[in-house]
A and B are shown apart, each in its own frame.
Chain A
């Protein structure tokens, strides 16, 4: 710049230049509105774009499965329905300092309980994602044929599965089928009867469009047999025994499933009895359930398996020795569920959380047959389960005895799995007689969980609260 010193000082013509410059400057500014257009970030996609491509639609579906594994009614995490309701029923004795779980275990549940709200919100969050997928795929021009059927079928199945748990836990519930938040924010309750009908409708729709084969290498996604297994369960719960028997038979006789004779292998990911399980996510991980229940010395700092349950097993029951861990020291003896044995990652994943397995189908059919008066058939189905457990054939011979035997067998077979025990006690009318003996705070209101208080204050159309809360 020092070389330009000698240019003559001549401001007048320059002033014109400034004026022109300023005008051009101002004019150029006025056309800058496009400056504030921004790119979408690479980590986000708009809702429409997701369903213009099968790959992203599959990713949206994968996320729904994964979210159900990480939280909600069937999750094995310490906030999931499995653990909370195992406490609520007589599967678990309370230890530790977690007052939120304590309220479930001791039946002092408050509508303000944060785990209750979390269970509710997580599950409805999953239902939103399912409805978004249904709407997206239905209106997509790009997803057609088998892909379309498979995506829709799995979504209908997952919606039915979630509502099955909600209706059993809460009774009358808001039944959501759209993504319109204005509608959903002010929705009222739908009667339990109607919800049950809707569940069956969704399952029948899924049955009609899902393929027989699994879309995944392992049995971690829904196929037609999965829907049949669920239909068997739903019909049993609604006491439609002939349908329950028919669907259970479809699964049992499909030839795709069998029961491994070794109870120790029942919860491995390759177990032939698996109809549907949660993939643990990243290869090498195992179940959430194993970590949730795990403790290695006593007294435990979290709930332990109920002593009452442990003591109720018959002598020689292989499930007692294979599926329960015993922790002893001079101060005492404690038990914990040991169906899933791996509470840490392994080089390759070995255990998946099981959601539907053939053993349950035998027990469903046993119960359906018993109530339909087919006593030998019922006995035969129970004995399939008892034989694997190393027990003699059942001595129950009447419908009443069979009902009691099946309840007991279900307790021993399905303990700490997805609310089974609580639902069994409730639907068979045994909740009060069994739980009032071991839970001093038991009240009749406990048949239904309370609706979360925060939810009621945000949407008064959900009032009234379930009775007694």
Chain B
């Protein structure tokens, strides 16, 4: 709570806030005329809307300038209350919107005309402003709630996968609540951790850095928990991703990696509507590895001992020395990760409201289980509130939204995937006859012992925002956005002594619990002023605003060791020893001015100027402010008179381009200072303090210059619509944790490196209405991204610490590997090329094979087919890339650990064709070294490209049986149904032998609205 009060800033800051309030009050006092106008006569208007082939259901009917909406029923009928001076607006996607003044009519019948160009009228959220898709000068990708609803996902990021060009998303593990990595137009920063886009939820920046602690959950389930996973996808109306300079420069120092805007659902005026949705999902792992069975495994082991010249099996070689059964054969993948994961999700939404005030309330409950044995599960309760209000004279508007979610994720102490792949197939049974964990007299490290421990992650997230706006005379409008976020994470990893082999003799005095509490609160105030002016030939939009943001974060991680009994493990006070692992508080402040000038001339020449001056507390005093800006322009050439004739074919054509500078400040707080930090180390009653960083006065912004050129074309009334864009982003002044030799006392130093990373790429999107009739329609959309990454400059790379990681002119995704030269037919061992010919294999000189692991291209193809009440949606995701073969995560073939079945092809029996070298138990040091070199060689690079049927959804809308306002829909969905790949591992996407791959899921759901 420290520093949360406003008066923390200087009086001048306070004064603006007060002034804003005063201003609003003045405004209220003078302008608001609640309820004082004479009421117009309201009457019921009814009618039927149809198109060329008959009545048209679901047409939106709106009283213009109000929030009164209704829609037509199955028979095309509608009824709405309006006064004689009102205008009714009839709109339906794919048809030209029509406006009919009410006048004296009590009944309005209307035939609507098809118009695919409607698509161009869609308004896109660009953050501080919104823009018609047609007039857009920047590059913005978008998905809507309907797309999100096609998949049973718990994280909004998952819903974006495969649906947006330029956005590459990888799911790191298949366990509930696991992380995703997201890259918008590639990686700009040489730092692994500085490539997150900026997330903004309803106008409130939302920090994406995990509050999880490496001491508790680092590396447990494919990375720390991602705060974005706490946002309930079902509450989201749309997600927009801003990609180019034109769209991102207004976010200044935080826009370099793209901006993800999340907008939540709002209520609509009209009857109070109830919407109940419920689905249930079953999931299994997509693929099992082909591993050795007991016969094959033991043959390998025996041969390994023979090769190593060991005739008497050691006493700890339980698998071959007769301690364990020689015939027992267990499929550990089935036992440990072969279960069925269930999801149950239910949501109730109530929405409605009057002309002036609308609301939406929603509650969601979700439960997920895992494929592991035991009762691991994920629970979520989420609630959303949205209220919009406007004054009767339409000058004052208010929008309030709050989204809360509480998640509790209970997982086993470790991801059992690794064990499932490596346990010897003849390892003993998990349980003995009495149903207790079987340790086989201490010889078997029973993996299920890990279920005695667990990892529990509890997250509470609140994002709230209030937007006040007031229309002033002369086209001005004053707005203030007030946002607040509160995230709390509490994680506990328990390691009771019962997870260890009883032969270790441990007691509850060795039981251990690691806990972490993370809190983050932020507030933001953004007063803004807009001015709009329309002339006959031109329209001008101007925006100016300022941002004050404060974020405080605390983390406290404690290790509790030694308990009187395991039953007391829930209480830290019962522990013999408490060690504070991490006690951090940080404060981040951010101040900016931003603005935009947008001019549309003759409806076809558009210019958009945006800029931002940013100050951040993350940098040293002399280096805190910087300017960012962009210019974007578009030309709708299809509106030119000289193309009048071709408009029946070329319905839309636009060229646009943008150039600008954005920045990146994702470097953590206080990084420029040499600091001492309190440590968990106590010595002779004194609590230690430790140097945590080297002093670095030269610490500045990372800048990213973006250029984009694009063309958008629509044919045949936009039934075919395509866009192609080319971008070039150059990121320089790289803020990098430069790895330091151990002799400096520190692993890294944060410093600006004068290196430049370039991301170029080509993005292509296609949407076509292949077929459309009253009963049947078929829409195809495709997105394709061909990215290219290149390190343009890196001064003194040859003498720098990055010498072995990067090459100028190459992608920063390259890995330097040895060049594999086959199995030496004399020694039977893998060999790699000794490039410098010095007779030894050394990393510095012999890692000369460069392999680029970045995707060559990726994208998705979605199809939507509707036939009467049926709707079928499916999405294929495709990625062309290289990946590390899974075999390189296994021990040397012949060791006490199972292997993929391909190692059966081995030296000497398979001679030149052998896959594996001479088996060794690990005793043969040369063989181990040869294997280590092999694992680091280009022999381990595989084609990890894949085409995946990512999602498939079949839904049926029930005919309105009992009331025209009731609708019901049932649906069947599949996730990760089919994967086509040459990759020889468990999954080409997460590419891991340690974490659970994404699951294949089937969902059955129903939705009723009334």
Which A residues are within 8 Å of any B CB, using their own CB?
A: 1-2, 4-7, 9-11, 14-15, 17-18, 21-22, 24-26, 28-29, 31-47, 49-50, 56, 58-60, 62-67, 69-70, 95-97, 99, 102-103, 106, 108, 110, 112, 117, 120-121, 124-125, 127-129, 131-132, 174, 176, 179, 181, 184-185, 187, 216-218, 220-221, 279, 281-282, 284-285, 294-299, 301, 331-332, 344-345, 441, 452-453, 455-460, 462-463, 465
Please name all residues of chain A whose beta carbon is closer than 8 Å to the beta carbon of B589 when the two chains form the complex: 35-38
Q: Are A112 and B932 in contact (CB under 8 A)?
A: yes
Please name all residues of chain A whose beta carbon is closer than 8 Å to the beta carbon of B980 when the two chains form the complex: none
Please name all residues of chain B whose beta carbon is closer than 8 Å to the beta carbon of A184 when the two chains form the complex: 741, 743-745
Q: Are A220 and B684 in contact (CB under 8 A)?
A: yes
Cross-chain contact of B746 among A67, A125, A282, A295 (Cβ < 8 A) = A125
Given contacts A5-B35, A18-B472, contact A38 B742 (CB under 8 A): no
The complex places the Cα of A35 from the Cα of B584 at a distance, in Å, of: 22
The complex places the Cα of A40 from the Cα of B3 at a distance, in Å, of: 12
Q: Are B682 and A108 in contact (CB under 8 A)?
A: no
A25-B23, A345-B576 given; 18 more Cβ-contact pairs under 8 Å:
A4-B28, A11-B31, A24-B15, A35-B589, A42-B585, A43-B677, A44-B670, A44-B673, A62-B684, A62-B686, A63-B683, A63-B690, A127-B745, A174-B743, A179-B745, A181-B749, A459-B743, A462-B741
What is the number of residues of chain B that contact chain A, defined by CB distance less than 8 Å?
107
Please name all residues of chain A whose beta carbon is closer than 8 Å to the beta carbon of B509 when the two chains form the complex: 344-345
Given contacts A35-B548, A63-B681, contact A18 B739 (CB under 8 A): no
Q: Which 7 A-B pairs have the closest CB atoms?
A: A128-B745, A63-B688, A296-B505, A66-B681, A108-B925, A62-B686, A121-B742
B527 CB to closest chain A CB (Å) equals: 7
The complex places the Cα of A17 from the Cα of B10 at a distance, in Å, of: 25
Residue interface mask B499-521, A partner, CB < 8 A = 1: 00101110101100000000000
The complex places the Cα of A180 from the Cα of B175 at a distance, in Å, of: 45
B29 CB to closest chain A CB (Å) equals: 6
Q: Are A129 and B744 in contact (CB under 8 A)?
A: no
Q: Are A18 and B23 in contact (CB under 8 A)?
A: yes
Q: Are A458 and B33 in contact (CB under 8 A)?
A: no
B333 CB to closest chain A CB (Å) equals: 21
Counting chain B CB atoms within 10 Å of each CB, which of A70, A97, A102, A221 scores highest?
Answer: A97
Residue interface mask B23-34, A partner, CB < 8 A = 1: 100101111111
Please name all residues of chain A whose beta carbon is closer than 8 Å to the beta carbon of B891 when the two chains form the complex: 99
Please name all residues of chain B whose beta carbon is closer than 8 Å to the beta carbon of A45 when the two chains form the complex: 675-677, 689
A333 CB to closest chain B CB (Å) equals: 12
Q: Are B690 and A60 in contact (CB under 8 A)?
A: yes
Counting chain A CB atoms within 10 Å of each CB, which of B507, B681, B896 scores highest?
Answer: B681
The complex places the Cα of A59 from the Cα of B684 at a distance, in Å, of: 10
Q: Are A125 and B745 in contact (CB under 8 A)?
A: yes
Please name all residues of chain A whose beta carbon is closer than 8 Å to the beta carbon of B29 when the two chains form the complex: 4, 7
B616 within 8 A of A: yes
The complex places the Cα of A96 from the Cα of B445 at a distance, in Å, of: 12
Query: Interface SS of chain B: helix, strand, loop or mixed?
Result: mixed
Which residue of B has the minimal Cβ distance to A1? B28
Please name all residues of chain A whose beta carbon is closer than 8 Å to the beta carbon of B739 when the two chains form the complex: 458
Counting chain B CB atoms within 10 Å of each CB, which of A56, A69, A185, A452 scores highest?
Answer: A185
Q: Are A460 and B625 in contact (CB under 8 A)?
A: no
Q: Are B804 and A176 in contact (CB under 8 A)?
A: no
Q: Are B587 and A39 in contact (CB under 8 A)?
A: yes
The complex places the Cα of A132 from the Cα of B679 at a distance, in Å, of: 17
Please name all residues of chain B whose beta carbon is closer than 8 Å to the beta carbon of A463 when the two chains form the complex: 844
Please name all residues of chain A whose beta carbon is closer than 8 Å to the beta carbon of B673 when the two chains form the complex: 44, 46
Which residue of A has the minimal Cβ distance to B929? A110
B962 within 8 A of A: no
Q: Are A299 and B315 in contact (CB under 8 A)?
A: yes
B624 within 8 A of A: yes
The complex places the Cα of A329 from the Cα of B763 at a distance, in Å, of: 70
A71 CB to closest chain B CB (Å) equals: 10
The complex places the Cα of A331 from the Cα of B501 at a distance, in Å, of: 18
The complex places the Cα of A185 from the Cα of B747 at a distance, in Å, of: 11
B11 CB to closest chain A CB (Å) equals: 9
Q: Are B689 and A63 in contact (CB under 8 A)?
A: yes
B601 within 8 A of A: no
Residue interface mask B525-561, A partner, CB < 8 A = 1: 0010100000000000000101010000000000001
Q: Are A44 and B677 in contact (CB under 8 A)?
A: yes
Please name all residues of chain A whose beta carbon is closer than 8 Å to the beta carbon of B32 when the two chains form the complex: 1, 4-5
B476 within 8 A of A: yes
Q: Are B315 and A47 in contact (CB under 8 A)?
A: no
Q: Are A457 and B804 in contact (CB under 8 A)?
A: yes
Which residue of A has the minimal Cβ distance to B474? A15
Given contacts A33-B625, A47-B674, contact A455 B742 (CB under 8 A): yes
Please name all residues of chain A whose beta carbon is closer than 8 Å to the beta carbon of B928 when the two chains form the complex: 99, 108, 110
B434 within 8 A of A: no
Please name all residues of chain A whose beta carbon is closer than 8 Å to the beta carbon of B682 when the two chains form the complex: 62, 66, 281-282
Residue interface mask B5-41, A partner, CB < 8 A = 1: 0000110110110011011001011111111100000
Which residue of A has the minimal Cβ distance to B587? A38
In B926-979, the 8 Å CB interface with A consists of 928-929, 932
Residue contacts A-B, CB under 8 angstroms, 28 given? A2-B35, A4-B28, A5-B35, A5-B36, A10-B30, A15-B473, A28-B15, A32-B591, A35-B589, A36-B590, A36-B624, A37-B617, A40-B670, A41-B586, A59-B687, A63-B679, A65-B683, A102-B922, A108-B928, A110-B928, A112-B932, A121-B742, A124-B745, A181-B745, A181-B749, A345-B509, A460-B844, A462-B741
B602 within 8 A of A: no
Please name all residues of chain A whose beta carbon is closer than 8 Å to the beta carbon of B433 when the two chains form the complex: none
The complex places the Cα of A422 from the Cα of B291 at a distance, in Å, of: 43
Please name all residues of chain B whose beta carbon is closer than 8 Å to the beta carbon of A59 when the two chains form the complex: 686-689
B557 CB to closest chain A CB (Å) equals: 12
Counting chain A CB atoms within 10 Å of each CB, which of B624, B674, B684, B739 scores highest?
Answer: B684
Q: Are A60 and B577 in contact (CB under 8 A)?
A: no
Given contacts A297-B442, A345-B576, contact A106 B695 (CB under 8 A): no
Please name all residues of chain A whose beta carbon is closer than 8 Å to the beta carbon of B510 when the two chains form the complex: 344
B299 within 8 A of A: no
Please name all residues of chain B whose beta carbon is closer than 8 Å to the beta carbon of A112 when the two chains form the complex: 843, 932
Please name all residues of chain B whose beta carbon is closer than 8 Å to the beta carbon of A6 when the two chains form the complex: 36
Given contacts A4-B29, A32-B12, A60-B688, contact A128 B34 (CB under 8 A): no
A288 CB to closest chain B CB (Å) equals: 13
Q: Are A46 and B745 in contact (CB under 8 A)?
A: no
B694 within 8 A of A: yes
Please name all residues of chain B whose beta carbon is closer than 8 Å to the beta carbon of A284 when the two chains form the complex: 576-577
Q: Are A455 and B743 in contact (CB under 8 A)?
A: yes
B581 CB to closest chain A CB (Å) equals: 12
Counting chain B CB atoms within 10 Å of each CB, which of A43, A124, A282 scores highest?
Answer: A43
Q: Are A95 and B741 in contact (CB under 8 A)?
A: no
Please name all residues of chain A whose beta carbon is closer than 8 Å to the beta carbon of B588 when the two chains form the complex: 38
Q: Are B35 and A29 in contact (CB under 8 A)?
A: no
Which residue of A has the minimal Cβ distance to B924? A108
Given contacts A35-B9, A35-B591, A296-B503, contact A41 B676 (CB under 8 A): no
Given contacts A60-B690, A62-B688, A66-B679, contact A21 B23 (CB under 8 A): yes
Please name all residues of chain B whose beta carbon is closer than 8 Å to the beta carbon of A9 when the two chains form the complex: 30-31, 33
Please name all residues of chain B whose beta carbon is closer than 8 Å to the beta carbon of A281 when the two chains form the complex: 681-683
B775 within 8 A of A: no
The complex places the Cα of A344 from the Cα of B577 at a distance, in Å, of: 10
Residue interface mask B912-928, A partner, CB < 8 A = 1: 00000000001101001
Cross-chain contact of B505 among A47, A50, A218, A297 (Cβ < 8 A) = A297
A301 CB to closest chain B CB (Å) equals: 7
Q: Are B932 and A47 in contact (CB under 8 A)?
A: no
Which residue of A has the minimal Cβ distance to B583? A43
A222 CB to closest chain B CB (Å) equals: 12
B520 CB to closest chain A CB (Å) equals: 14
Q: Are B747 and A34 in contact (CB under 8 A)?
A: no
A205 CB to closest chain B CB (Å) equals: 21
Cross-chain contact of B681 among A32, A70, A120, A452 (Cβ < 8 A) = A70
The complex places the Cα of A463 from the Cα of B896 at a distance, in Å, of: 36
